[in-house]
Structure formats: C-alpha cells, structure tokens
Amino acid sequence: MKTIDELLAEGVAGKRVFVRADLNVPLDGTTITDDGRIRAVQPTIARLAEAGARVIVASHLGRPKGAPDPAFSLAPAAARLGELLGAEVAFATDTVGDSARAVASELADGQVAVVENLRFNAGETSKDDAERGAFADQLAELADLYVGDGFGAVHRKHASVFDLPARLPHAAGGLIAAEVGVLRKLTDDVRRPYAVVLGGAKVSDKLGVIDHLLGKADRILIGGGMAYTFLKAKGYEIGTSLLQEDQIPAVQEYLKRAEETGVEFVLPVDVSVAEEFPDLKTKAPADSAVVAADAIPAGRMGLDIGPETGRLYASKLADARTVFWNGPMGVFEHPDYAEGTRAVAQALVDSTGFSVVGGGDSAAAVRTLGFDEKAFGHISTGGGASLEYLEGKTLPGLAALED
C-alpha cells in the first residue's frame, strides 16, 4: 500500500488529487455538533495543499436516498474545513456535474475544494457493479491522483471507496495509515491483559466482533442497550428495556463459550431505569431510579449502567494493558444517563495501558463529556470499520488501496 509520504516524494504540484475523506459529521440543522472527523483528515489535506496539489475533497454525509437533499449537504463541513485550514475552500453544489467540473478545473496549485455529498448520486452506493463503475468513471475525470483517507467508510463497497482507486494512481492518506497501525496493535502481539468494552443499542451489531474476540480478549465488558439481551439470556426480568429476542440463543452460546475458554464476561450488576425514554432536553423522569440488574421492575426500561457497575468496570480496566471500547454504556446524550459512559471513559484515562476508543458514538461521547482526546491512546474515526477489522473481515476500501 503506497503511503502519502511516497506520493509526496514523487511530487504532486499542479496535479489534481481526489481525497476520499470522511466528513460525515453530526449536524443540528446546519451547525456541526462534533467536528472530530474533519479535524482528523485535515492534516492530510493540508500536506497535499502545501505541496502544491489541487485538492478535491469528497465524502458522504448521512443517508440520503440517492438524490440531492439539503438536510445532508456538505456545505457546513466545507466551511469548517476552511476554518481549520485557514484558507478559503471552494464548494461545488454537485458531485460530478457542471459545478464540480468547473470548480475542479479552476483550482490553482495549493487550493482546496469540496464537492457535494457523494450519496446524492445513486451510483455511489449501488450494488450493481456497472452502475457503481459508471459513477466512478465520472469521478475519475475530476482528478489525476487518488488518496483514500476516509477510514469511516473503508468497510463499504462504494464507488468512491472501492471502484475509484482502480481508475487512478492511488495512495493511503495519513489518517488511514494511523488507524490501521493502531488496529494492528489490537490484533497482532497484543499486550495483556486485553479488555474489550462493548456497548450501544443492538447486540446484533456486535455479534461478529464478540465471536472473534472470544479467542483473543481476556475480558469482555457489556453495557448499553445491548446489555439487556444478555441479561434476558441469563433469565433476568428486564421490563421494557431494549431487547433483541431473536439473538438470545447466540448470546447464550457466547456466554457458554466464554466460560469454557476462560474469557471473563462481565455484565451490569445494577442499572438506571425509568418508565419511558427521556426527552434529551429536559430533566430525567421523576420515576428514575437505580435497581439491581436482576430486578428491573416490569414497566421500566434500563437507560444506563448503574454506579456499582461503573465501579466494577473501572476495576476490570485498571490493570489492562490494552483496551478497546466501542459503544456508550447508556443514553449519554442525557446528563442523567451519562454517568456509566463517563465512568468507562475515566477508567481509560486513568489506565496506564494502551486505550482505543472505537469511533462512532463512543468518540462523540468522549468529546461531549468534556474529556481531553489526548488522554486516550487513540480515538478512531470509524466505528463500523474498526469492528469489521477486528472481526478479521477484508475491508473493500483498504483492499482497493493495495498495489
């Protein structure tokens, strides 16, 4: 896999460089609420511009239906990128149309442009190879070179991620190189004890990585909405908590395998509950309470791990030399149900081991709760990509960058 260092050594001045970034940031209207992904790719873009490249940045944002949708415009991301670069960033109002072609052709050496959301074109995400390839052909007309640096999308077989690198000389950007380097520390020659913390809403999203990690991790700690399927699998009453009943047999099998292989599987011992999901802009419901994990009342739902569980999990992470964390422990967006996630984040900060926050909501939670990003070993920009890498899957976007 060619690196951006090698590409720069060959010279990029005057050349149009297509950078597939991940600018998929959360928005409140047109206001960016977490610019972590833009800040992560900014160094690669800056290096190319400083070397005299004419940089064309492309990304997806959200899940539009293959047609333009103002709610998913990349205009706010382009403006924020310009602020971080300290230079004007041109913005094309389409992806491969008249505006994109004009903007790309008018760039001078060292200038940067962003084209509109790739997913406004059905060809970007099409499962039909010919349709995807046709869109990749149009994208290729905009540039001379390709740099893949959108780690959060490398697990997708999309036109700009998988098909386009085959049409242009290509290299991996600095962010992708860093992400892969970190993930190798979680799969090759891991320092032990190796602890994994998994949260988030659905257990089905994590089954593959649990299956793979049962042969690699020393401890697996479970929180978030997915924890209630595990508690139900143990025969506990979980009230109206989130449940994927069809996953119970798989969960029971994993618990059995963990016991047989000596992997410590740690579940919540207490949880915060309420009668209904909270309005994120108001105080917690008056009926909010902490109960034992095996005694959730009927009619109540679990919304966070409890304080005793937070202390238990911190103790399980204290001596870990490697920690991977993916998924919040509760509804961290509400201050009354953020303490479990805060406890895990603080445990990683306090740990002397190498800690990796696995992207997605976990990364957003760390920033939302006010933690210094430098206090963690690494904060990934791609939750789904990180999980699939740890499952041992081939990621299309990485395979496409191989020579």
If you count them, how many residues does the chain have?
Answer: 403
Of 66, 277, 230, 291, the C-alpha closest to 159 is 66
Compute the distance between CA of residue 194 and CA of residue 186 in angstroms, rounded to an integer: 9
Neighbours of 169 (CB within 10 A): 16
Q: Which of 123, 173, 384, 397 is catalytic?
A: 384
The torsion defined by the Cα of 162, 33, 387 and 187, in degrees rounded to 10, comes to: 100
202: annotated active-site residue: yes
C-beta of residue 34 within 8 angstroms of C-beta of residue 152: no
Compute the distance between CA of residue 343 and CA of residue 329 in angstroms, rounded to an integer: 9
11: annotated active-site residue: no
Compute the distance between CA of residue 33 and CA of residue 333 in angstroms, rounded to an integer: 12
Compute the distance between CA of residue 84 and CA of residue 94 in angstroms, rounded to an integer: 23
Matching residue, tokens 């442009």? 113
Q: Which of 37, 47, 132, 342 is catalytic?
A: 37
- Return the H-helix or E-strand segment holding 158: none
**Residues near 188 by beta carbon (within 8 Å), at least 6 away in sequence:** none
Compute the distance between CA of residue 240 and CA of residue 301 in angstroms, rounded to an integer: 5
**Residues near 387 by beta carbon (within 8 Å), at least 6 away in sequence:** 205, 206, 208, 209, 326, 358
Matching residue, tokens 């005057």? 14
340: annotated active-site residue: no
Q: Which of 148, 302, 359, 360 is catalytic?
A: 360
Neighbours of 109 (CB within 10 A): 13
374: annotated active-site residue: no
Is residue 312 classed as helix, strand or coil in its secondary structure? helix
Cα–Cα distance list, 306 to 237, 311, 338 (Å): 16, 9, 10
Catalytic residues: 37, 202, 360, 384
